[in-house]
With several copies, the nearest count.
Chain A
Amino acid sequence: MVPTGDTAWLLASASMVLLMTPGLALFYGGMVRSKSVLNMMMMSFGALGLISVLWVLWGYSIAFGNDVGAGMLGDPFEFFGLRGLMEDLTSEEGGLPVMAFVAFQAVFAIITVALISGAIADRAKFGTWLIFAGIWATVVYFPIAHWVFAFDAGDVVGGWIANDLLAIDFAGGTAVHINAGAAALALAIVLGKRKGFARDPMRPHNLPLVMLGAGILWFGWFGFNAGSAVAADNTAAVAWVNTMTATGAASLAWLATEKIRDGHATSLGAASGIVAGLVAITPSCSAVSPVGAILLGAIAGVLCALAVGLKYRLGYDDSLDVVGVHLVGGLVGTILVGFLGTAAAPAGVDGLFYGGGVDQLWRQVVGAVSVMTYSFVVTLIIGYLLHKTVGFRVDEDDEVSGIDLAVHAETGYDLHVSTGAGRTLTGATAGATGSSGVGADADRQTEGSVKS
């Protein structure tokens, strides 16, 4: 028999997490200048399209296929194309539909890839981004998901972090955030700075969009974290409450940091604090108490608010602060489990502050550092290879005049009161024949085109 309550929650969660990627597209898209909003959003939407296909083809199998050696990798062929997974029953004597789990994990893969794009705003070739996304998912994300999320089950052997190291990463602080953050740093280095970085203003063009994105991310994150219980149970409920309260605390902490340092509490700060809190509570939401979550969130809010300035000091153009928010926030959340973890919480492990000594702490640090190192190094290699071969960066001219127009032949907004002044339809590529000729429509007035 299928446990319908758990399945209902898992499917709802998966849907909510899928929405996070469009939410991220808004969050990121609002932060760039209006001339590159579409390209920014397209990196997320491109990841959404591509990874949803790759996951079905070989992603799930690499992550959750039977281990092929040392907890590093699942068998890519075992469930290639999800074969054999459409049957009704999943575990032996009844259990969740495997496909519900496939669904839930798919959206994690998607958003992890999309997160990286924040580091390379305004300047990446879209085609190269897609190639990168496919390779990166295959050689970085899918294996790391195996390390962290594939628990041993019966005969099936899973990943080393989950089963051997026993680091606690409830919903992906390592696999998702540290991973994406390290990759982001690598790509920011590979692509180099935007023209005018740290000199020209590159301020957000649409902050309501950023805040909407943050709101959607928060909403979806309940699926992300509470859904990671893979059941509609007490663990899910605790994760839910911790996800709320740590996030609230992080947002307040970020605002307080700004108010003290800059004199103003900003809306971008509130939105950023929300994401920082969400990131930090991701690995830890099953391991800390609600009061611990407040503390953890507040620490993450302060540290991430300070960390986003690093790029100006160190000189890498992590345009939308993926490092400052996801890498730093992921590290904070993962490592603090070693301090703030309490046996009273569902994960049942005491951290240093609760008398558990350093046992869990070192496991957390090893897990975090391993993922960070692997991700950074491999991403650097992939990035440089693509940069030297197909090229990863658009022309400087296109960057200056705006990547949306150059790459996508589109403009984000046309809010002019005039009725499209100065624009004229010159050709409508039509129909199944694929010919791009001028339509035969008598209504068509060819003198409408420009002969400049």
Chain B
Amino acid sequence: MKLVTAVIKPHKWDEVREALEAFGVTGMTVTEASGFGRQKGHTEVYRGAEYDVALLPKIRVEIVVEDDSAGDVVGVITKTAQTGRIGDGKVWVMPIESVVRVRTGERDSAAL
């Protein structure tokens, strides 16, 4: 099993979710995150004092998948989340040793 972690732009989340569903992914876990990278942050002004806000809002998605789906899932995300502008995000894949469905105790493939 693999864990695919994707960090994407927030307004792309809905599209990515739909594409993943269409592909057959049945579940995922999402957290709000902030990204720091090449994409410039922005400047805020309060009473004439300027604040550099280096962090940008991102959506972080985690998806546990079968070994052989991992590449495709990464592909689907990459394709859907792409705008071509700096800051589109990253996707990375890590090995998982086991996964359990809490409700039933089913393991690995059966747990998805």
A interface with B by C-beta (< 8 Å): 200-201, 203-204, 258, 261-264, 266, 268-269, 272, 305, 308-309, 312, 321, 324, 400-401, 405, 409-411, 416-419, 421-430, 447-452
B48 and A200 contact, CB distance less than 8 A: no
Partner pick for A421 among B30, B46, B49, B51, CB 8 A cutoff: B30
* CB <8 Å contact, B45 and A418: no
Q: Give me the interface of B with A, judged by CB distance under 8 Å.
A: 10-11, 13-14, 17-18, 21, 30, 32, 34, 36, 38, 40-55, 57, 59
Identify which of A426, A429, A448, A452 contacts B48 (C-beta below 8 A): A429
A272 to B46, CA, bound (A): 10
Q: Is the CB of A405 within 8 A of B42?
A: yes
A410–B47 touching, CB < 8 Å = no
Neighbour of B44 across the interface among A409, A416, A449, CB < 8 A: A409
24 A-B pairs within 8 Å (CB atoms) are namely: A261-B48, A262-B45, A266-B46, A268-B47, A308-B47, A309-B49, A401-B11, A409-B42, A409-B44, A417-B57, A418-B32, A419-B11, A421-B55, A422-B13, A422-B14, A422-B41, A422-B55, A423-B55, A425-B49, A425-B50, A429-B48, A429-B50, A449-B52, A452-B36
Measured between alpha carbons, how far is A451 from B19 in the docked complex, in Å? 12
Which residue of B11, B30, B38, B46 contacts A422 across the interface (Cβ within 8 Å)? Answer: B30
Known: A419-B11, A421-B13, A422-B36. A452 touches B47 (CB 8 A): no
Q: In the complex, what distance in Å separates the CA atom of A262 from the CA atom of B50?
A: 9
A409 touches B18 (CB 8 A): no
Take A416-B32, A418-B59 as given contacts and tell me if A266 and B13 are in contact as well, using a CB distance cutoff of 8 Å. no
Task: Give A320's nearest chain B residue, CB to CB.
Answer: B47
- Closest chain A residue to B47 by CB distance? A308
Asked whether, in the complex, the Cβ of B47 is within 8 Å of the Cβ of A272, the reply is: yes
- Chain B residues near A268 (CB, 8 Å)? 46-47
Which chain B residues border A263 with CB–CB below 8 Å?
A: 45
* A447 lies within 8 A of B49 (CB): no
Give complex CA distance A242, B55 in Å.
Answer: 45
Of all chain B residues, the one with the shortest Cβ separation from A261 is B48
Contact B10–A421 (Cβ < 8 Å): yes
Per a CB cutoff under 8 Å, which of A269, A416, A421 touches B47?
A269
A321 and B47 contacting across the interface, CB-CB below 8 Å: yes
Contacts of B45 in A (CB 8 A): 258, 262-264, 266, 409-410
List residues of chain B with CB within 8 A of the CB of A452.
Answer: 21, 36, 38, 40-41, 54
Q: Given the complex, which residues of B lie within 8 Å of A201, measured CB to CB?
A: 51
Bound CA span A358–B34, Å? 60
| Contact of B48 with A418 in the complex, beta carbons under 8 Å | no
Distance from A263 Cβ to chain B, minimum over Cβ atoms (Å): 8
Q: Which residues of B contact A266 (CB under 8 A)?
A: 45-46
* Residue among A416, A419, A422 with max Cβ neighbours from chain B (10 Å): A422
A181 to chain B, nearest CB (A): 16
Compute how far the CA of A267 lies from the CA of B41 in the bound complex, rounded to whole angstroms. Answer: 21
Cβ B57 vs Cβ A418 within 8 A: yes
Residue of B nearest to A268 (CB): B46
A425 to chain B, nearest CB (A): 6
Q: How far is the CA of A452 from the CA of B56 in the complex (A)?
A: 13
Q: Give A421's nearest chain B residue, CB to CB.
A: B13
Write the chain B residue with the least CB distance to A417.
B57
